[in-house]
């Protein structure tokens, strides 16, 4: 398990995480759900080592982490195919087409990012993060702008990864198909109890 203990983060005097304590599964796909601005992205950044907490600690975090940010961060001067090979060692360049196929971008390797639709750009950014690989995948809104049918297929692919996946999403497919779903409110980020079973 990934253990988060008494984690606190503030920005400009506003407490975003306030002594947050919880355990996250270290296997399968875990979806973090909650309203925008409640602190989910801040938690992801702390887990990725990109944000230092004011207090508290994280234990059992796999490393390294492959991170997908809310912004695509594609390089406009690199083709679609090069966006993938840029994160791979030369010995793994042959994997390029595998990752493009996973993102349903076959035949787009020679295109430039600006020639892709918003959803295609998001899928390319996701493919790049997955190709990079690591001990855990931290994905912030991986399905933004992606149509529901593709969301379902991408979720199936994420569930086949050997490393754990922690993703933030408001999309139905992610919340319906994830192995685990944690719902939050905030700020500060507060874990909500699971819904009572029906019947």
d(CA 74, CA 112): 10
**Predicted model pTM:** 0.95
pLDDT score at 84: 98
Band (pLDDT 50/70/90 cuts) for residue 186 is very high
CB-count burial class (<10 Å; 0-12, 13-18, 19+) for 154: buried
The contacts of residue 3 (CB under 8 Å, 6+ apart) are 23, 58, 59, 60
Flag whether pLDDT at 177 surpasses 70.
Answer: yes
Query: C-alpha dihedral over 28, 39, 53, 182, to 10 degrees?
Result: -30
Q: Mark out the alpha helices in 79-189 (DSSP H runs).
A: 80-85, 96-102, 118-132, 148-158, 172-177
Model confidence over 58-116: pLDDT tens digits?
Answer: 999 999 999 999 999 999 999 999 999 999 999 999 999 999 999 999 999 999 999 99
Dump strand ranges (E) for 12-135.
14-24, 29-33, 55-59, 65-68
Query: In the predicted model, what is the mean pLDDT of residues 134-161?
Result: 97
Which residue in the block uniquely carries the two structure tokens 């994160």?
87
pLDDT band at 199 (very low <50, low <70, confident <90, very high): low
Q: Which pLDDT value is given to residue 69? A: 97
Q: What is the pLDDT of residues 8-58, one digit of tens each?
A: 999 988 999 999 999 999 999 999 999 999 999 999 999 999 999 999 999
Residue 194 is predicted with a pLDDT of 81
Exposure letters 49-58 (e unless 16+ CB within 10 A, then b): eebebeebeb
Distance CA 133, CA 125 (A): 13
Which residue in the block uniquely carries the two structure tokens 């700020």? 187
DSSP 3-state of 93: helix
Give which of 102, 98, 124, 101 is closest to 111, Cα–Cα: 124
pLDDT grade, residue 195 (50/70/90)? confident
Secondary structure (3-state) at 100: helix
DSSP three-state, residue 113? helix
pLDDT over 90 (residue 196): no
Q: Any idea which residue has 């002594």 for tokens?
A: 19
CA distances from 162 to 102, 123, 158 (A): 15, 20, 9
Answer whether residue 191 shows pLDDT above 90: yes
- What tokens appear for 192 in the block? 């909500």
């Amino acid at each position: 398990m990934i253990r988060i203990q008494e984690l606190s983060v503030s920005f400009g005097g506003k407490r975003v995480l306030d002594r947050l304590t919880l355990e996250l599964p270290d296997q399968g796909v875990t979806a973090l759900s909650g309203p925008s601005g409640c602190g989910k992205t801040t938690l992801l950044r702390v887990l990725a080592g990109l944000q230092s907490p004011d207090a508290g600690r994280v234990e059992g975090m796999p490393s390294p982490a492959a991170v997908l940010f809310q912004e695509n961060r594609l390089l406009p001067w690199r083709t679609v195919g090069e966006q993938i090979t840029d994160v791979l060692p030369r010995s793994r360049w042959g994997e390029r087409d595998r990752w493009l196929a996973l993102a349903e971008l076959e035949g787009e390797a020679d295109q430039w990012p600006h020639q892709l639709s918003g959803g295609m750009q998001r899928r390319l950014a996701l493919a790049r993060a997955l190709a990079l690989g690591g001990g855990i995948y931290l994905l912030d809104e991986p399905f933004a702008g992606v149509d529901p049918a593709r969301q379902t297929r991408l979720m199936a692919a994420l569930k086949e990864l050997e490393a754990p996946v922690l993703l933030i999403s408001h999309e139905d497919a992610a919340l319906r198909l994830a192995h685990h779903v944690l719902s939050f409110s905030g700020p500060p980020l507060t874990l909500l109890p699971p819904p009572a079973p029906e019947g």
